[in-house]
Structure 1
Amino acid sequence: MSAPHTTGTTHLAPPLFKHGAIDEFQESGRTVSFATSGRDDALAIYAAPSADPQASRVKAARLGEQHVYLASTQRPPLSERRVFIIDTSIIFAALQNLLKKARATNTEIPQSDDDMQVVIKLANDYINFCKECCMYASQNITRAEPLQLDAEHYRRLYTCFSLFGVLYLPEPGLENVPIGDELMEWLNTHFIEPSTQEGDELSSQERPWEDPTFWPYLIRTSLRGLSKASAFFLNVLSKHPSPHLQSLAQQLTPLLTDQPRLRQFSAERDFALASRRWKDKVKTLRIELDRVPESEREDDFENWWDHLSDIVGILEGRGDVIKKVCAELGADWKEVCAVWGVFVNTRLSREDLPEIVAQVLDELPPDPTDLEDMVHSSLFLGKPRQALSEAAQLDIWLAAHLADLMRAIELIDTEPDDSELSLRQYYVLEYAHYLHSDPALWRITVDYMYSCGQIGGEMADQVLMRVPLHLQPSRDAATSSEEAVLIRDGQLAGVLKAVIETCHEYQREEIRRMVCRITAQTFIQEGEFGLAVSYCTSAEDWPGLGRVIDLVLEKYIVQGPASFASLVANIAPSLHKVGMDAGTKLRAPAVFSHRLQFAVRFAEFHHRRAHGDGQGAALDLVTMFREEIAPRSWWAVVLCDAVELLQCNSAMLFTSNDACLLIQKLEEIHIRVAQGNGDDYLAVLSRVVKGGEKHALQQLQAVRLSLARYYARCGAIGVGGRPSGWHH
């Protein structure tokens, strides 16, 4: 079943109990319980017996069939959102590499022009991705999958991130340059006023000044510094019936189009001189404007003089006029602040901006219900912590990546708080937690987590250990994935390869071993013992390796020597690599090395015996005893398997010394069994012969008889087929 997720509330459908029946539900001895998935933090919600033994009167049988509701604490990224996340994660990784390099060279990024250029470039990359995603989401096209977030959402991200770039990431050397022009450019880019449609409608009219939107349009273009549009409509006024307005419009046009901008000058002194001259021309225009007789300041529609006076007041930099005009036009605080830096205080710096903004906000406060507007105001006011808090409510992606950049340019503290996390780490981990809702994004998730110190590293470790490895092959061999085929051919591939590479990248050796242990367990369950051996070895999981060997030997007990020998032949390359090379760093401890050697040698013994190589089989058998490879629990089995070789009439395969060794082992078994240690020596043979200790001893009596006869034959001919002093 599913549980649709809404903020603060999870509604179960169908419900666990009817509305108002909670008391009845509790009296039935049940409660609502849940379990969290380590794979993606999803919740499984279900009815469970109450923990209170007094209240729990329901029996397990009465619970019957139960619904399990799956709910997610996060809305997993889909469609365009996933593409956006993947693309921007590349920029994040590039910034982490820069920070890593800076730490290695003990460099403070804000003090390095080259490093700051890289940071600015990466911030612009973020901004451009927001813009591209906004444009993509705006397209009216047929999509294979519906958009998860609309164009308006990405537009908000675009405006917020670009404002951060304008305010906090100036080009090196331009930190103290007046900011007015940049703010106006940002405003005109993201909050277009007046609209192009308004201009088109007015320009199509023969007498546009008769339209009630004409003067608001012209004032807005003047406020926004849209000089081409302003000049066009001022030129239209040459046809106005008032000769005064015709003349004034002609004088106003060059003032709007030729206002000095600091970026146009190589020296600030030249800019100041040009600004004074321009201001003098504005004063002259004001004088001309005031000379217009009161009786001639209106046409048949409205008072054109008042509107023109407002435009001149804007050019004069009169704050009261600007606030009045903005209020009449319905402009908000952002527009007032941008206009302030262009007309009122042309030398307005980033450092002085918060003071001006605070004054404007007293009269025109931001909209508290509009998160975008709240982020803007916090950035304008120079309050990065507050901006991050509001950005997190808008989109945790925004808060995480702003915090990452703020930390890089030392805009926020690096010291952890009571939670043992810095501000940057907190928001990045919140974002990583959101990414974890999609298991397919595990690689990106751990990249963000590992950038957040010890706590983030431990969180990433847990994610890595739970990444679905997709090791099981398809039941239909024809549709088995290439990844599964490659892994079974002994190659590292697919998700498993990526996880292990990630462990190496972040130096998480213990996690790599744990993943190899998990992989080995999967292969054990599938009977892929060769692969299980390899991954146990890679994990240095020697007890696990011992379990694999026991399972391999179990094949002998359950299925007989032929199946056992065939199995070991298939996994022999993996077995030979473990513990055989004294120079390898992964050499198994002696106890496991001996068990390995026994499994291999015992299988070779049966392989040779089955293929008629009696001499080689005899050599294997004696070597297992002489070099103490065979475990005591298997002595009786090995001796029983020697009977066929002892009874061979065509050749004497053992020397008398060999026979004596076998007799010695047989006698030790009988003595130990008589002393009450039968389980240590006969347990395996009892299982092989499918009987108890008594049955096993009967089998050993057959071995004793065969050994006695063989030894007698050795004595009869003197050498047993070889000189009695011959040694292997």
Structure 2
Amino acid sequence: MGVQHIDLVPPLVEAGKFQDLVQSGHTILASLSPRNNSLAVNVAPLELSSLKPSDVEQDEAVYFATHVDIPSSERRLFIADTLVVFSMFKNMLKSAKERDPSWLQTRDGLEVIRKFGVDYVNFIKECWIHANLCLVRNLYNSAQNIIAVSIRVFSLFVVLFVPEPGYEDAPVGEELMEWLNIHFIEPSTEEGDQLSSLESPWEDDNFWPYLTRSILRGLSKASLFFLNTLLQHPSEDLQDLVKTLIPVVESQPRLPQFSAERDFAYASRKWKDKVKALRVEMDRIPEGSRFDDFYDWWEALSDIVSILEGRGEVVQRVCEELGADWKEVCAAWGIFVDSRLRRQDLPDVVADVLETLPPDPTNLEEMIHSSLFAGHPEEALKYASDLDLWLSAHLADIMVPLGLLDPESDSESGLSKRDEHVLAYAEYLHSDATLWRITIVYLYTCGTIGEEQGDQVLMRMPLRLSTATADTDSGDQRLDAVDETMKEISSICREYSRELVRRTVCRIASSTLKRSKKYGLAMSHSISAEDWPGLGRIIDAVLDEYIQNGPVIFASHASTIAPLMEQVHANTKTEAIFAHRLMFAVKYSQIHKMRLEQDYSTAASDLVLLLRDEIAPKSWWAILLCDSVEYLQYAPKTLLSPGDAIELLRKLEEICMRSSQGSGEDYLPVLVRTMKGGGGEKEALERLKTVRLAIARYIARCTTTLGGMRHFG
């Protein structure tokens, strides 16, 4: 459904003054949101590149608009409820295609399709009842009217194109009249109540029109009630005719009463003989006795008998006089004029009727009905899409397996007719970001184009972690919501075999969580995405916590990634460098944890182990050496062996020697960043002199304690 314009209130530019805006060096810009169908609209300079900062207007209004109405709460309920039928229908079609595509054209297959069509009608009715309850609570909106239209259209579609198996070639008049009586009630109940309260109802101007309409609609109870009132009419001639008419109306054969159509046809012929006899009896009434003081009852009764006789021109004329439309003429035609009217013959009748009683071209529902009656389903879809995208999408979806729509894709657009309508509906759903789950279901049924659009919806799901903190209830709830969203997305991706999308979304989630310092969750998503560079960035961010905030906060954050170390090492696809880096971050954080718990001996030996086994990156050697000073100076107990001290000295010598050779950037950047007073490599090397002094003193102490340097061998 094309959108010609969007009205902004108040307008950015008054009508007819856009050229004045252009002459002032400005224009209107609009940016489409990737999250939904909303637009950001604002006035902007024509030549952005030539502007100076001082020329940019800071207080321009920005409008957020959309070209569709965002679904109301009642509409969302309707959308969600009918999705159930849509999903089940697609699963059935998928299963049938895998098993035997030709099965859908069998009696059993058509019966299943009909069941889904009826399910749509029933679900829509439930939503309509809910909408009416909202009306009582003064919550009415246009959704109720759309739902009512959908009931009428879908019900008609089922009647005309999805009949009960075995009844495809059966007469259709009874079903059309039933549909008409359910959805377009005439004559009204109020009229009947008013007439029935009168002592002599035939004196009322509405009596004969009401009686005629009741008979035309096949409402036997109302018809018989008011025919019986005529037994009290002052005209004995009329009374005699009515005594004959009552059993005729009462005994009219109806198709559902018969098990075989030939029995129905035979009973109809016999019944028509009774009607003919009644006509003969009517013609014997003298012309002077054919009216009373209020009405020409003979003419009115003659119209009724003509309808029963099946005179098409009278049926059409009476419908016009009663204010009925073409639908009532067509339904009555299948009851009185041609009681054996087939679905395939209905378009010919419709064509003749529409010549004198055309549908209202401004009424989209009327145009849908007339297209369906005339056997033009594709034309009905066109009008349905202008009326309601839900209606056109679901009609198109069920038309394809019935063979009513060409399933092949257009060579230019790459879309079939069905996919065009379903994609249009999915775009409408995309206007409400809360309906993303439902939007996805529809998109992924529309071939490659729909899948690509569905991928974009999933990859643009906002996680909104900017204000979440792990130590607050709101933060925990937000994280829980993100976790649930990610589970849903992963489930959807697996269901539709969108593995690349799943990994992309995991990478996005990981990056978002990392920025919010949820390192454990971020790492789990990186592992799931097999995003090893992303894993490395998370580890670097955790290590950076040491540099920025010190060992306590660093240890706290590192504890959230520690449980994942085994999973990383077990994954054969993990790149070794990242697994090695993770091991260092976790073990180094454990050293600080042990230090805080005053387990200095274990902390000291593990620190040396990180250096000896070269688990620690070279850029962190200087930091570990500085940490070792505390353990070297620990008294009176010695925490390190002489060999440990020698290992520390070796690492220190390598740092100093390589730095003097111009490789300081490989060994000193982390230490430089931790120096609060600032400085560079020179100042970092000066600081390492304290480490050298601590090692020298420790060796001296060990020499004195152990009785000689031989213990260092």
Fold match, TM over 0.5? yes
Equivalence map 1:214-363=2 (5 Å) = 214-363=207-356
Shift of 1:466: 2.4
Whole-angstrom distance in 2 between the partners of 1:283 and 1:18:
72
The alignment status of 1:691 with 2:679, answered yes or no, reads yes
Q: State the partner residue of 1:91.
A: 85
Whole-angstrom distance in 1 between the partners of 2:79 and 2:134:
22
Whole-angstrom distance in 2 between the partners of 1:216 and 1:536:
76
Q: 1:447 aligns with which of 434, 441, 457?
A: 441
The alignment status of 1:469 with 2:463, answered yes or no, reads yes
| 8 Å contact kept, 1:578–1:593 | no
Shift of 1:135: 4.1
| 8 Å contact kept, 1:533–1:574 | no
| 8 Å contact kept, 2:35–2:461 | yes
Q: State the partner residue of 2:9.
A: 13
Shift of 1:389: 0.7
| Secondary structure of the structure 2 residue equivalent to 1:567 | helix
Whole-angstrom distance in 2 between the partners of 1:299 and 1:521:
90
Q: State the partner residue of 2:384.
A: 391
Gap regions ≥5 residues in structure 1: 1-5
Whole-angstrom distance in 2 between the partners of 1:703 and 1:97:
70
Equivalence map 1:194-209=2 (5 Å) = 194-209=187-202
Query: Aligned pair in 2 of structure 1 residues 310, 721: CA closer, same or farther (>3 Å)?
Result: farther
Gap regions ≥5 residues in structure 2: none
Shift of 1:720: 8.8
Q: State the partner residue of 2:478.
A: 484
Number of equivalenced pairs: 709
Whole-angstrom distance in 1 between the partners of 2:141 and 2:54:
42
Equivalence map 1:169-208=2 (5 Å) = 169-208=162-201
| 8 Å contact kept, 2:187–2:213 | yes
| 8 Å contact kept, 1:470–1:495 | no
Q: 1:702 aligns with which of 676, 680, 690?
A: 690
| Secondary structure of the structure 1 residue equivalent to 2:344 | coil
**Any idea what the Cα deviations from partners look like across 1:344-396, whole Å, max 9, x if unmatched?**
11111111111211121122211101111100001011111110110111111
Q: State the partner residue of 2:560.
A: 571
| Secondary structure of the structure 2 residue equivalent to 1:33 | strand
Query: Aligned pair in 2 of structure 1 residues 226, 506: CA closer, same or farther (>3 Å)?
Result: same
Query: Aligned pair in 2 of structure 1 residues 57, 513: CA closer, same or farther (>3 Å)?
Result: closer
Q: 2:424 aligns with which of 430, 440, 449?
A: 430
Query: Aligned pair in 2 of structure 1 residues 130, 722: CA closer, same or farther (>3 Å)?
Result: farther
Whole-angstrom distance in 1 between the partners of 2:421 and 2:163:
24
Whole-angstrom distance in 2 between the partners of 1:189 and 1:241:
36
| 8 Å contact kept, 2:631–2:639 | yes
Q: 1:419 aligns with which of 406, 413, 416?
A: 413
Which amino acid in structure 2 is aligned with residue 557 of structure 1? I
| 8 Å contact kept, 1:368–1:374 | yes
* Range moving further from structure 2, 716-725 or 621-630: 716-725
The alignment status of 1:676 with 2:662, answered yes or no, reads yes
| 8 Å contact kept, 1:655–1:719 | no
**Any idea what the Cα deviations from partners look like across 1:637-660, whole Å, max 9, x if unmatched?**
222322333344545544555444
| 8 Å contact kept, 1:654–1:720 | no
Whole-angstrom distance in 2 between the partners of 1:447 and 1:114:
27
Q: 1:403 aligns with which of 396, 406, 429?
A: 396
Shift of 1:506: 2.5
Q: State the partner residue of 1:47.
A: 43
| 8 Å contact kept, 1:483–1:494 | no
| 8 Å contact kept, 1:237–1:245 | yes
| Secondary structure of the structure 1 residue equivalent to 2:514 | helix
With the length of structure 1 as denominator, give the TM-score of the two structures. Answer: 0.90
Identity level (%): 51
Query: Aligned pair in 2 of structure 1 residues 721, 546: CA closer, same or farther (>3 Å)?
Result: farther
Shift of 1:446: 1.0
Query: Aligned pair in 2 of structure 1 residues 542, 283: CA closer, same or farther (>3 Å)?
Result: same
Which amino acid in structure 2 is aligned with residue 670 of structure 1? C
Q: State the partner residue of 1:103.
A: 97
Query: Aligned pair in 2 of structure 1 residues 721, 448: CA closer, same or farther (>3 Å)?
Result: farther
Q: State the partner residue of 2:111.
A: 117
Shift of 1:571: 1.8
| 8 Å contact kept, 1:575–1:596 | no
Whole-angstrom distance in 2 between the partners of 1:602 and 1:478:
28
Q: State the partner residue of 2:587.
A: 601
Q: State the partner residue of 2:517.
A: 527
Query: Aligned pair in 2 of structure 1 residues 150, 668: CA closer, same or farther (>3 Å)?
Result: closer
Shift of 1:603: 2.0
Equivalence map 1:528-677=2 (5 Å) = 528-568=518-558, 570-581=559-570, 584=571, 588-648=574-634, 650-677=636-663
Q: State the partner residue of 1:502.
A: 492
Shift of 1:10: 2.6
The alignment status of 1:213 with 2:206, answered yes or no, reads yes
Whole-angstrom distance in 2 between the partners of 1:695 and 1:626:
26
Shift of 1:80: 1.6
Shift of 1:420: 1.2
| 8 Å contact kept, 2:465–2:516 | no
Whole-angstrom distance in 2 between the partners of 1:113 and 1:122:
15
Query: Aligned pair in 2 of structure 1 residues 164, 601: CA closer, same or farther (>3 Å)?
Result: same
Whole-angstrom distance in 2 between the partners of 1:13 and 1:474:
35
Whole-angstrom distance in 2 between the partners of 1:680 and 1:479:
43
Q: State the partner residue of 2:29.
A: 33
Whole-angstrom distance in 2 between the partners of 1:20 and 1:353:
51
**Any idea what the Cα deviations from partners look like across 1:616-638, whole Å, max 9, x if unmatched?**
23332332233221112122222
| 8 Å contact kept, 2:326–2:359 | yes
Which amino acid in structure 2 is aligned with residue 281 of structure 1? K
Whole-angstrom distance in 1 between the partners of 2:650 and 2:473:
56
Whole-angstrom distance in 1 between the partners of 2:433 and 2:119:
26
With the length of structure 2 as denominator, give the TM-score of the two structures. Answer: 0.92
Shift of 1:426: 1.3
Query: Aligned pair in 2 of structure 1 residues 19, 401: CA closer, same or farther (>3 Å)?
Result: closer
| 8 Å contact kept, 2:173–2:334 | yes
Whole-angstrom distance in 2 between the partners of 1:27 and 1:142:
54
Which amino acid in structure 2 is aligned with residue 165 of structure 1? V
| 8 Å contact kept, 1:558–1:688 | yes
Whole-angstrom distance in 1 between the partners of 2:552 and 2:227:
102
What is the RMSD computed on CA atoms of the aligned residues? Answer: 2.9
Which amino acid in structure 2 is aligned with residue 460 of structure 1? G
Whole-angstrom distance in 2 between the partners of 1:374 and 1:57:
54
| Secondary structure of the structure 2 residue equivalent to 1:69 | strand
Shift of 1:185: 0.8
Shift of 1:35: 1.5
Query: Aligned pair in 2 of structure 1 residues 707, 158: CA closer, same or farther (>3 Å)?
Result: same
